[in-house]
Structure 1
């Protein structure tokens, strides 16, 4: 008796799977909204193929993934231009399929085949795909998917550097203030990674684009949105006080316009923002090489500043004593500056 009827079909090879994924994604183009059933069937085929890819890349809980198959699949996905299709078809795909693509993408990016990170190399040759992911923050249906994939990409210095230098980077100043909270938060998470993950690239970027960057950043610090003000102020501390950016910080604390922003934030209705502003404000005051116009501003506003500082307290905590010590030093320095002769002349 033959049991061939019950025999399972042969598993696809990595080459066959990559080709099947490509064909099913391309097939979506030939289905219009009018052909609802045909489109649903095409989407099911994509979903099935993506699930198979996920299983090949990370196993199914019973069978461990095969490293040779993973390497071969990665290579074929790059060779068949599947990455470009995956990115561009995201708006058409369902939530579960997008979730599986995010999972697969985090694995694919890390794969090295013959000493080459294939997917990274593919992106370096198709940099417009990174811009596509950034622009997708404007589509709230896929914003979080694209944001996750983008953060995976910018773990790589070359890809992060490209986005920093790309015109699409400026869009983050808009995206972090989008009305949909989840999307705005996700955009800010990506924005933060871009400015903190790769110190050398960030330092070079800030050096080259200092004026236009801080002009736009000031708008975030003055935002009517409390979350935007607080996050932006915290992020400013994170990257400004990094040692590779010491030359940027020296330039920043020598400019009156930046000092005025911090003085405004010291008066904020939120204690958290006041405390965060103090940690940047103190660098202006403690600078031993303060320019004359910085001293003039501090002297002219010393009474109000001293009043604000005396009332400023972080509350109870382990850092309370250190804060009070720093505050006392800053108060003394402002008092000293206010007594300097000929500042008004």
Structure 2
């Protein structure tokens, strides 16, 4: 139930509600800051109409929404280009209107006519709207609203695929390190959804953009920001070891530069980061087909590595399995260190 100052009047028809929303949003174009009262009036009208939309879509706490009206409203909003209008007007909307919009957005995207999600289909035909939402992370006033809307979009494979393949995707490597903690955290949540919600799509993307992606990802793993290092390391484990990405993981653990990053993270001042790094480091070591360069690095650094590992312990219920894995990795490093690999 909306906490708007405006109590929504009982909605008439979905067509009426759609027209009222569209007209009030378009009226914002004719107002300027100089016309303060006119602008305030226009904003009040938008807020009232959004509250009415929210009431129609989710009820008012006493009366449940009418399923047919909800579906019809989604159809009308798509047909009348209101989705495009609300996204482009986001930067000028007030807090209450943005809150109602985010609430309604999730409901609208889920409305299905036969086999088609009408609002999703609209966005598929206006994919630049997704780019607009991504870029809005640069506007801290609306960043969290846009993040919520983006994550709803990412639930749908076609929309997630577009963002992954678009030029705007690389902006997430910047947004996750923005100085505003709330915005950076929200951007990371969206980034994580993009890399974990649709395994096959992510696998195709990483296959096609392997070098570009992991070059950028290296900057996150070596960031001076503790939160960035910890989150990106944990996320790397989540998507790298997913079955669709097994070929990506096999390629990743052949590269000396990435082994060196994990070795550096094993020395991190944070125990959480050390443990997360170990779970990736162990795959480099356990690989039965380690390249010669990997074996050389392990052999040259075996004393320091063994010292680090012997002082590393797991947490709680993980202790026993962690210790078993650690012992196996220690033995493998000791074995590699005795091989005559430096002579050939």
What is the TM-score of this pair, normalised by structure 2? 0.96
- After superposing on structure 2, the runs of 4+ consecutive aligned residues of structure 1 that deviate more than 3 Å are none
Q: Deviations over 1:209-259 (max 9, x none)?
A: 000000000000000000000000000000001111000000000111110
Q: Distance in 2 between matches of 1:50 and 1:175?
A: 29
Partner of 1:328: 327
Q: 1:133-174: CA deviations, max 9, x gaps? A: 000000000000000000000000110010000010000000
**Alpha-carbon separation, structure 2, partners of 1:11 and 1:301:** 71
CA contact (8 A) 2:54 2:100 kept: yes
Number of matched residues? 336
How far the C-alpha of 1:132 sits from its partner, in A, is: 0.4
Equivalent residues of 1:296, 1:344 under 8 A apart: no
Alignment of 1:118-129 (within 5 A): 118-129=118-129
Measured against aligned partners, the alpha-carbon deviations of 1:164-214 in whole angstroms (never above 9, x if no partner) come to 000100000000000000000000000000000000000000000000000
C-alpha separation in 1, matches of 2:45 and 2:17: 12
Question: Structure 1 residues 326, 24: CA separation in 2 closer, same or farther (over 3 Å shift)?
Answer: same
> Which shifted more, 334-343 or 272-281?
334-343
Question: Which residue of structure 1 aligns with residue 6 of structure 2?
Answer: none
Q: Which residue of 2 aligns with 1:292?
A: 292
Instruction: Report the counterpart of residue 180 of structure 2 in structure 1.
Output: 180
- How much has 1:10 moved relative to structure 2? 7.4
Quote how far apart the aligned CAs of 1:344 are.
4.1
Residue 343 of structure 1: SS of its match in structure 2?
coil
* Alpha-carbon distance change, 344 to 308 in structure 1, aligned in 2, over 3 angstroms: farther
Let me know the Cα RMSD of the aligned residues.
Answer: 1.0
Deviation of 1:314 (Å): 2.2
Looking at structure 1, the residues matched to 17 and 123 of structure 2 have their Cα atoms a distance apart, in angstroms, of: 21
Change (3 A) 1:56 1:251: same
Could you tell me the TM-score, scaled by structure 1's length?
A: 0.96
Q: Which runs of 5+ in 2 are unaligned?
A: 1-8
Structure 1 residue 62, shift from structure 2 partner: 1.2
Distance 1:197 1:147 in 2: 15
> How far 1:113 sits from its partner (Å)?
1.9
What pairs with 1:60-79 in structure 2 (closer than 5 Å)?
Answer: 60-79=60-79
Gaps of 5+ in 1: 1-8
User: In structure 1, how many angstroms separate the alpha carbons of the residues matched to 2:343 and 2:272?
Assistant: 34
Distance 1:119 1:344 in 2: 64
Q: CA deviation at 1:343?
A: 2.8
CA distance 1:319–1:11, change in 2 (3 Å): closer
Q: 1:38/1:290 Cα in 2 relative to 1: closer, same or farther (>3 Å)?
A: same
Tell me the CA shift for residue 313 of structure 1. 1.1
Q: Show the 5 A alignment for 1:70-219.
A: 70-219=70-219
Change in Cα spacing, 1:337 to 1:17, as seen in structure 2 (3 Å) is: same
